[in-house]
Structure 1
Amino acid sequence: MKISILITILLSTLLAGCGGAKDNNNAAAGKGGEITIGSKNFTENVLLAHMMADLIEDKTDISVKRQVNLGGSNVAWTALENNEIQLYPDYTGTIVANYYQEKTGTSEESLAKTKELVKKDGLAFLEPFGFNNTYTLAVTRKTAETYKLKTFSDLAKVSSDMVLGVEFEFLDREDGYPGIKKLYGMNFKQSKGMDHGIMYRAIEDGETDVTNAYATDAQIKVHDLVILQDDKQFFPPYDAGPVIRQETLDKYPELEGILNQLKGLISEEEMQGLNAEVDVDALKEQDVAHDFLIKKGLIKD
């Protein structure tokens, strides 16, 4: 009798130990699976990546890895294609014009074409966040007044006297300088590629005369720059939204509904304000993104 009781105790202990080890392994791996979210190397994209990561962490038991500041558009896109990341925020105009070299159209047309194009490559573009972060060109107020600049066409007439300072990829993208050059006949005295954060210091210090900018960029107000009118409507719409691997969506179908909670949530003005909290007020991207989701009632503190 005593021997049988002892055997029972030993077996129970062994089984409990095995179960405990299994539970620990599940906890380490993330019982709900794992996903890696990336971003490009500028404030806005990092903010959006953190928003998506926070939502997924709050609404699921999926383990989320964050690989933000990967680099420019092509770096992030390649990482997604190679499954190094499974999700990141991108822009309809960038996807259609830059990755697939096709014509865009209106916001609605560009969104439809984006969804169609990425589907062929095993990707999905979900619902847009609500703002259009279109490219533009900007000059200092003094430059605008000196040369009487209001439009891109005005700039083209005096571009040979000016230095262009833009992001590295803008120099090569068809929806960047090469395309503007063809449409408007702009030929700058010199064109310089640089990191996004340096562009504004360069134009303020007089090292450059013209820079590319985003409609939602806080630095436009900080440096009192004048946005020139794209009078021939060269730049396509850049509606931001999540782009995700279809196999990831098939594995975690709940992600579509969760990420679509961000649909139409962020206006241009709100995005500019969020960017300013990081670039001007020196707050951390992750904190700003988290607080925004709390403010909108999507997650709890």
Structure 2
Amino acid sequence: MALTACGNSSNPLSSGSGTCSGDTNKLTVGSANFPESETVADVYAEALRANGFSIDTKLNIGSREAYIPAVRSCAIDLIPDYTGNLLQYLDKSATAASSADVDAALTKALGDQLAVSTPAPGEDSDAVVVTKATADKWNLHSIGDLAPHSADVKLAAPPEFTGRPGGLPGLKKNYGLDIAAADFVPIDDGGGPATVRALTDGKVQAADIFTTSPAIAQNNLVVLTDPKHNFAAQQVVPLFNTAKKSDKLTKVLNAVSAKLTTAELISLNTAVSGASKTEPAAAAEQWVQAQGLDKPVA
């Protein structure tokens, strides 16, 4: 996917000074390395431009381990994130699971350099996903049902899944799902096409795929329930450097978040990853217009 505004270097962070400017009207919006993040970042960029902000973008940066330091250093100023995973990144000991508890804990964990505005109602959680054939074969309904088959399970997920609290450590602790190191298949596409293909081709028996992925319905995949809340609440939330915080920025981001429901996330993802294969920037522009966010927020 083409990088916009800041060139097309293989490293989106290779340009720019990383110096926090005092101009709160000028922002660089970033994204992680999967389509939903890029699309939501483009949504933020479109809405902010409509409200008089000067916006550059640095998209497809990588995982949280790459982009959080970039926000702290102002290599980027703003990026969409997810409340539960962001909390667990900032506080490895965090145990909050519900939306309210995660929000309260996140506020405390942000520190002096990071800030968020109001989370969107839209939620996109990690999930352990299997094919219908595997679910039928082993009578799977919840993640715990997969645990007795640990020795026979290869699991695909982003590389960081090995160390994250909600990743392999959490699956073992909460459900007894013990994936051997040799059976973990790292795929760095955020649960995207390569991960889905590994699952549907039978190269793995389970995969970490986001719940708003249109690939779940398209491939008749089964999301295993998570009754012990291994994966915390994951509402979309704008994360930004406190040097860029302003009432105007918060007002625009809150207006976007209010419209960004789970159904709208799925709609955006379907436009980008479904049959039409709309570019994220085009899908974002269409969505912003449809939601009336292409005009200054009152």
**Same fold (TM > 0.5):** yes
Task: Say whether the 8 Å CA contact 1:92–1:239 is kept in structure 2.
Answer: yes
Q: 1:130 maps to what in 2?
A: 121
Give me the whole-angstrom Cα distance separating, in 2, the residues matched to 1:121 and 1:185: 37
SS of 1:145 mapped into structure 2:
helix
Instruction: Specify the alignment match of 1:282 in structure 2.
Output: 277
Equivalent pair of 1:165/1:199 in contact (CA under 8 Å): yes
- Residue 167 of structure 2 is matched in structure 1 by 176
Residue in 1 that maps onto 2:135: 144
32 and 192 in structure 1: CA distance in 2 versus 1, 3 angstrom threshold: closer
Equivalent-residue separation in structure 1 for 2:211 and 2:24 (angstroms)? 38
Question: Paired residue for 1:219, among 215, 218, 229?
Answer: 215
Q: Which residue of structure 1 aligns with residue 249 of structure 2?
A: 255
User: Using the alignment, how far apart are the partners of 2:217 and 2:263 within structure 1?
Assistant: 12
> In structure 2, what residue type is equivalent to 1:242?
P
Equivalent pair of 1:98/1:175 in contact (CA under 8 Å): no
| Root mean square deviation of aligned Cα | 1.6
Aligned-residue offset at 1:165: 1.1
**Alpha carbons of structure 1 residues 42 and 232: separation in structure 2 relative to 1, 3 Å:** same
- CA change 1:217–1:248 in 2 (3 A) is same
Within a 5 Å distance, the mapping from 1:151-162 to structure 2 comes to 151-162=142-153
Q: Percent identity?
A: 27
5+ residue gaps, structure 1, are: 1-30
Structure 1 equivalent of residue 239 of structure 2: 243
Cα distance per residue 1:163-197 (max 9 Å; x no partner): 11112222221121111112211123511101223
1:59 aligns with 2:54: no
| 1:195 pairs with 2:188 | yes
Contact 1:114-1:125 at 8 Å conserved across structures: no
Is the 8 Å Cα contact of residues 171 and 178 (structure 2) preserved in structure 1?
no
CA positional deviation for 1:105: 3.1
- Which structure has more helix as a fraction of its residues? 1
Name the structure 2 match of 1:12: none
Over alpha carbons, which structure has the higher Rg? 1
- Structure 1 residues 238, 32: closer, same or farther in 2, change over 3 A? closer
**SS of alignment partner, residue 192 of structure 1:** strand
Aligned mate of 1:270, from 250, 259, 264: 264
* CA distance, structure 2, for counterparts of residue 141 and residue 132 of structure 1: 24
Provide the rounded CA distance (Å) in 2 between the counterparts of 1:50 and 1:59: 14
In 1, the alpha carbon distance for the partners of 2:228 and 2:26 equals 46
Give per-residue Cα distances to partners, 1:57-76, cap 9 Å, x unaligned.
1111x321100100011111
| Structure 1 counterpart of 2:244, one-letter code | T
Asked if the contact 1:32–1:63 (Cα under 8 Å) also holds between the matched residues in 2, the reply is no
Q: Which runs of 5+ in 2 are unaligned?
A: 1-22
- String of CA shifts for 1:94-114, please: whole Å, max 9, x gaps: 121122212223101211221
Structure 2 equivalent of residue 14 of structure 1: none
Structure 2 distance, partners of 1:245, 1:232, is: 33
Q: Do 1:59 and 1:258's aligned partners in 2 also have CA atoms closer than 8 Å?
A: yes
Query: AA paired with 2:197?
Result: R
1:127 and 1:155, CA in 2 relative to 1: closer, same or farther beyond 3 A? same
Instruction: State the 1:121 CA deviation.
Output: 2.7
The one-letter code matched in structure 1 to 2:269 is: N
Q: Say if 1:202 and 1:208, in contact at 8 Å, map to a contact too.
A: yes
Q: Which residue of 1 aligns with 2:286?
A: 291
Of the two structures, which has the highest relative contact order with CA contacts closer than 8 Å and spacing of 6 or more? 2
The question of whether the paired residues in 1 share the 8 Å contact of 2:42 and 2:280 is answered with: yes
Q: Is the 8 A contact 1:51 1:289 kept in 2?
A: yes
Whether 1:234 aligns to 2:230 is yes
